[in-house]
Amino acid sequence: MGEITVSAQDMDHLLYDPASAYGAPYQRAFAELARTHQGRPAAEIVPLLREAADRALLGFTSADLAEQARAISCGAPYELRVHVTR
């Protein structure tokens, strides 16, 4: 399980919000990679996750991205603990 801290005003960077104009929520990129990259090597998925995290302005650690990539690779659920700040 990974963890990330996100400010309340930037939650739309992590989770899709139809009321937001922000166009690159991480949740969408993760879901798309999970759909298209299951069975691929985790090492191939990590740079794609890093790119998505950078676009979303989220500070995932390398270890978190590697863990997410392993989950995508083997089709396992991934749990992310989100801490929201003001």
pLDDT one-digit tens code per residue, 25-78 = 999 999 999 999 999 999 999 999 999 999 999 999 999 999 999 999 999 999
Cβ atoms of 65 and 10 closer than 8 Å:
no
Domain count, the chain: 1
Please state, as a whole number, how many other Cβ atoms lie within 10 Å of the Cβ of residue 16: 12
Domain assignment present for residue 5? The answer is: no
Which residues, in sequence order, are bridge partners of residue 81? Answer: 3
Cβ atoms of 82 and 2 closer than 8 Å:
no
Alpha helices in 15-85 (DSSP H): 26-36, 42-55, 62-74
pTM of the model: 0.92
Interatomic CA distance for residues 1 and 36, integer angstroms = 22
Domain assignment present for residue 2? The answer is: no
Domain assignment present for residue 56? The answer is: yes
Boundaries of domain holding 81: 13-85
